Amino acid sequence: MFVRFTLGLAISAALPLAATAAEVNIYTTREPGLVKPLLEAFTKSTGITVNTVFLKDGLPERVASEGESSPADILMAVDAGNLVDLVEKGVTQPIQSAVLTDAVPSQLRDPDGHWFGLSYRARVLYAAKDLDLTSFNYEQLADSAWKGKICIRPGQHPYNTALIADYIAHYGAEETEKWLAGVKANLARKAAGGDRDVAKDILGGICDIGIANSYYVGLMRSGKGGEDQVAWGQAIKVVLPTFKEGGTQVNISGAAVAKHAKNRDEAIKLLEYLVSDEAQKIYAEANYEYPVKAGVAADPIIESFGKLTIDKTPLGEVVRHRKQASELVDKVGFDS
């Protein structure tokens, strides 16, 4: 399933992309409403037309099947694993850009220049407001003190397999299996639902703490999710957990230049624009994501969580443990 947009305006998927003197074509799995403000701002700033095709899934397969005839210049996706999949499918190309390497922390980009993080979200702790809790380590999720007090979405969801993969990168598979079994033993209910359900169930007294993404708090407290979700967001406080010997686990939204990009220079210009102060501010405002560029403030709701220290494990290394993480979820029966 896909929809094509030109500056956010839907047009027929059967029509060819318009040929202009200066244009760039994006294939993306990001929601159209989230990228539209960024692309409109880029066109206004540069005069370069942006044609966008939104794909619900199957991005690597689509580009690979099109081969050299693919019109795609930029491939944009959520989750580092999806960006690595593009590289492994052979549909990206490395680029060199001092603007990008200066703006994007090394652990949030491909060391060979195939992909770059453009914004990120943290895997944080939601906690009942009355808990005397100001700091937390991911390792503590397996402590018996939290037995029957933890809510979380399914372990097989990519948000959680990424966290488990990061745990493997820190401690190895054997220790991660023990930890994961300990977390399962502490669940207040079956691992199910979504991240916002963690806040909802804390409000409902089902659990005291849970792990979820940072940006959902912005979506809830801002009212964008409706009045009920405002109450869920207000019922929790957010603690930025870390690994005992590391930082907070994060994941990215990012992009790569397509292997057969016809508008390579324009593609690079767009990626460089997306790490500018202007674009990073839009990222922060549109979806409550953390800007990758230092010095650009996150939304005030997100800033209220305190100073975040990103874990230093490169996301490319974390992704290599995804399959093992998924296998451990099944091995300990986390979702059963």
> Which residues, in sequence order, are CB contacts of 133 under 8 Å at separation 6+?
125, 127, 209, 237, 239
Mean pLDDT of the region 110-120:
97
Q: Which CATH superfamily is domain 122-248+310-331 in?
A: Periplasmic binding protein-like II (3.40.190.10)
Name the token pair of 159.
Answer: 């948000």
Q: What mean pLDDT is reported for the chain?
A: 92
Return the percentage of the chain with pLDDT > 70, whole number.
94
Return the percentage of the chain with pLDDT > 90, whole number.
89
Mean pLDDT of the region 155-160:
96
Could you give the CA distance from residue 287 to residue 155 in angstroms, rounded to a whole number?
A: 24
Could you give the CA distance from residue 259 to residue 75 in angstroms, rounded to a whole number?
A: 10
* pLDDT(14) > 70: no
**171-176 CB contacts, 8 Å cutoff, 24+ apart:** 173/324, 173/328, 176/325, 176/328
pLDDT of residue 8: 37
pLDDT of residue 280: 95
pLDDT of residue 30: 85
Identical fold at 2-120+252-296 and 122-248+310-331? yes
Identify the band that residue 21 occupies on the pLDDT scale cut at 50, 70 and 90.
low
Crossing angle of helices 322-331/158-171, nearest 10°? 100
CATH 3.40.190.10 fits 2-120+252-296, yes or no: yes
Nearest to 319 by CA among 258, 249, 245, 256: 249
Mean pLDDT of the region 5-16:
37
* pLDDT(15) > 50: no
**Burial class of residue 8 in the structure, from the number of CB atoms within 10 Å of its CB (0-12 exposed, 13-18 middle, 19+ buried):** middle
* pLDDT(17) > 90: no
Q: How many CB atoms lie within 10 A of CB 161?
A: 25
Nearest to 141 by CA among 181, 88, 190, 201: 181
- Give domain limits for the chain: 2-120+252-296, 122-248+310-331
Name the token pair of 214.
Answer: 């940072």
Q: What is the pLDDT of residues 251-288, one digit of tens each?
A: 999 999 999 999 999 999 999 999 999 999 998 988 89
Least confident piece of the model among 56-60, 79-83, 183-187, 245-249: 56-60
Give 106 or 31, the one with higher predicted confidence. 106
Q: What is the pLDDT of residues 58-105, one digit of tens each?
A: 999 999 999 999 999 999 999 999 999 999 999 999 999 999 999 999
Least confident piece of the model among 26-40, 128-142, 161-175, 227-241: 26-40
Mean pLDDT of the region 116-124:
97
pLDDT of residue 172: 98
